[in-house]
Amino acid sequence: MAGLVTQPTNRPIEGFIQSINNASKQSDSRVLVKLMEEITGQKAVVWGNEKVPDFLIGFGEYTYTRKGGKEEFTWFPVGFAARKTKMTIYLNFDVSQETDLLKELGKCTFGKGCLYLNKLADVNIEVLKKLIAKSTTP
């Protein structure tokens, strides 16, 4: 494998947010950028690939090796994507293990390293901040 297709880009954050075809998701994206920059201490970076127009906003970088592999990959510890139906929050730990925080979070679904929200108004922002902060610690 020649590395991940998704890489940091030089695309401007605000231009990218303006390209989102949903005013509510644009607004939520601006809130998430501010919140994640404050918590991580990292500037927002648009990640993606022009050949596969599926862009994300990430904060910080780290390298990892897949289980049983030798090749190193670069990714972000915290990020999000404004998808057509949901906001996807990317975290670098198994979210399903945070049962107490998930109960307090509000309306969402989750995968191993992702939270899926319809909109930020559906969740407790203070609990979301705790989950984001957890993703920034090794």
Longest dimension (CA), the chain: 43
pTM: 0.90
What is the tens place of the pLDDT at every residue in 38-86?
999 999 999 987 766 678 999 999 887 778 878 888 889 999 999 989 9
**Does residue 21 register a pLDDT over 80?**
yes
Res 3 pLDDT > 80 = no
Q: How far is CA 30 from the centre of its chain?
A: 13
Tokens of 4: 């991940």
What single-letter amino acid sits at 105?
A: L
pLDDT at 64: 79
Q: Is the pLDDT of residue 1 over 50?
A: no
